[in-house]
Each structure stands twice: as C-alpha cells, then as structure tokens.
C-alpha cells in the first residue's frame, strides 16, 4: 500500500516513541531534535497526539486503543463499513482486525463525541488505515462527512476493480447509512451505485465539514452497539488533553478516560489544555488514575 502524507506531528510522535517517550497523533521530518525540542514542536503544531496499541476491533470502522493511561474507543473518520448483519460486514471487520489488532497505531484526532469516543485517522507506521479500508473495498467513502475528495476516487477504483464488497452481486451494495436507516424503520430507497461517478460522490460532500456533523449526523448505531451522538463542547484549539487542578494535584485527562467529559478547564485557576501526554508530564501534570 502506498504511504499517505501525514501531519508533521505524527513523525514527531514516532521519533518520541523511538526515544521511549510514548505520547499521543499525527509527516515529515528529516532531522531528529532533542526530546524536549520534539515536545515543543508537537505542542506548537496544535495537534493532539495519541499513540497506543489496537487491542480490539468492534467492526470495520470502530476500534479500541490502549494508551499508557488507559483504553479509548476510536471511530475511523471519513469511512463507513457494512454492519455485522449486512453483506460484507464480517469481512470488513476481519480485514481491519488483521491489519490493526496488536499493532501500535498513531491517531490523527478529528474530534470527540459526547460519549467520550474519538473520531480519528488511524495510522500504522506511514499507512493511512482509513484510506486503506476504502482502497481495498472494505469501506465506503462516508460522503456527507468527507473533507478529502480522494476517498471518492479510491472508492471508485475499488468498485471498478471489483475489490472487497464491490466483488459481490450489485444488489448487495447497500450504503451502510441507508441500511441503518432501514433498520430503524425509516422508509429508504436504496441508491443504485453501479454507475456512480467520482463527481457524484464529491457532490455529496458538504462545503464545510464540521466535526460535530462528521460524527453525529448519521446516528451510526450498528450491531457493535457503538452509537455516534452529538459531540460535547469543542476543546481549546485542537489540543484535547485536559490539565485539571484538583485536591489530588495537577492531573491530566485524556479523551476516552472516565472523568474526561465531566472535567471543565478554568484557565484563570492555572488549568490548561495540552496537545500531548509528554507536554503534560513536562509541565508537572500526572495522568488520571
């Protein structure tokens, strides 16, 4: 698979990991600076950085990742895969599990939903797994929530080549968002995708993708039980780690942790937001237990 371009913070993350500083999200960097310089650069990039191990695959677009400070649930951004009770649903799940389970992953976080799940682009080394799932015919480009037009091209190429779900009879080509709507009892006229063009896919993309719409608009609830509700309040900038000051000291909370959604940051009290775990630790915060 062709490696996808990645945000600069990811390569910084991988260098940090190589230096035994496990932090966390998303390339390019030819020189390895000192560890403290890396942390400063990552913080300056205003990108939340998460690195962990994929420990469970719920379905073709939802996984559990073990971080140093605990597990989180991650929804893969820009893609939608067949449900477990839908043709090619089990195969999509198996494909993602075979690619990810037990592997170290980097998460380019897009947003977080109100159930404390992250929506992210998932990388293994330099490979964009979200893109790979579409390229292999295991996922659809999630049209209404796309920001990258290449997903439409990748889906069209997979369909033309008959890869994955596109190798099945065309009457089984049911968009997962329409399948779920039918499962909720809504009247659905399934779209015929046999002759869909890249331009038609792109036309379904919103002019501006808001993080809330990117995860909430579809009421994504499949047999995995992973729902996608309206997101919580947006974080400060693009840095998602909450640095809270409590009677127990200076504690940071990662998205997906038990107390994350309840924690409110008051910068007037010295509380703050962090982009990486390394940045939080260097500033004197410890992870929540």
Residue 78: closest CA among 151, 6, 165, 176: 151
- Residue 31 or residue 241, greater confidence: 241
What's residue 236's pLDDT? 46
Answer yes or no: is pLDDT of 213 > 60. no
Q: Angle, nearest 10°, between helix axes 8-18 and 35-44?
A: 150
Q: Which residues are within 8 A (CB) of 64 and not within 5 positions of it... i.e. 6 or more apart?
A: 54, 55, 56, 57, 58, 71, 72, 73, 74
Spatial separation of the C-alpha atoms in residues 135 and 277, rounded to whole Å: 33
Walk me through the domains of the chain, giving residue ranges and CATH numbers. 8-216 (2.40.50.90), 241-287 (no CATH)
φ, ψ (nearest 5 deg) of residue 97: -65, -40
Is 75 marked active-site? yes
Q: Write down the pLDDT at residue 78.
A: 95
**Which one from 83, 116, 277, 279 is the annotated catalytic residue?**
83
pLDDT at 269 over 80: no
Look at residue 114 in the predicted model and tell me its pLDDT.
54
What pLDDT, on the 0 to 100 scale, is given for residue 173?
97
**pLDDT tens digits for range 135-183:** 999 999 999 879 899 999 999 999 999 999 999 999 999 999 999 999 9
Has 186 been annotated as catalytic? Answer: no
Q: pLDDT at residue 26 above 50?
A: no
Q: Is 281 a catalytic residue?
A: no
Top pLDDT among 28 and 96 is at 96
Q: What percent of the chain has pLDDT over 70?
A: 71
């Amino acid at each position: 698979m062709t490696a996808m371009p990645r945000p600069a913070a990811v390569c910084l993350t991988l260098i940090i990991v190589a230096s035994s500083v496990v932090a966390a999200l998303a390339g390019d960097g030819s020189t390895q600076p000192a560890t403290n310089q890396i942390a400063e650069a990552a913080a300056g990039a205003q990108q939340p950085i998460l690195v962990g191990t994929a420990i469970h695959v719920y379905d073709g677009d939802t996984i559990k990742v073990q971080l140093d400070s605990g597990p989180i649930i991650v929804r893969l951004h820009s893609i939608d895969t067949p449900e477990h009770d839908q043709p090619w649903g089990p195969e999509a799940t198996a494909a993602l599990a075979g690619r990810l389970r037990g592997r170290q992953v980097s998460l380019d976080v897009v947003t977080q939903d109100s159930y404390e799940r992250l929506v992210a682009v998932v990388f293994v080394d330099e490979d964009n797994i979200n893109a790979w799932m579409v390229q292999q015919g295991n996922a659809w480009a999630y049209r209404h929530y796309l920001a990258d037009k290449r997903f439409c091209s990748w889906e069209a190429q997979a369909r033309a080549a008959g890869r994955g779900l596109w190798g099945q009879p065309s009457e089984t080509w049911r968009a997962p968002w329409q399948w779920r709507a039918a499962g909720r009892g809504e009247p659905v006229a399934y779209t015929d995708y046999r002759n869909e063009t890249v331009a038609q896919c792109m036309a379904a993309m919103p002019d501006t993708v808001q993080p809330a719409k990117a995860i909430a608009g579809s009421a994504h609830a499949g047999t995995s039980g992973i729902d996608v509700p309206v997101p919580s309040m947006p974080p400060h900038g693009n840095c998602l780690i909450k640095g809270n000051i409590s009677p127990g000291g200076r504690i940071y909370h990662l998205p997906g942790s038990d107390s994350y959604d309840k924690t409110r940051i008051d910068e007037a009290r010295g509380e703050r937001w962090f982009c990486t775990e390394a940045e939080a630790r260097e500033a004197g915060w410890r992870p929540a237990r």
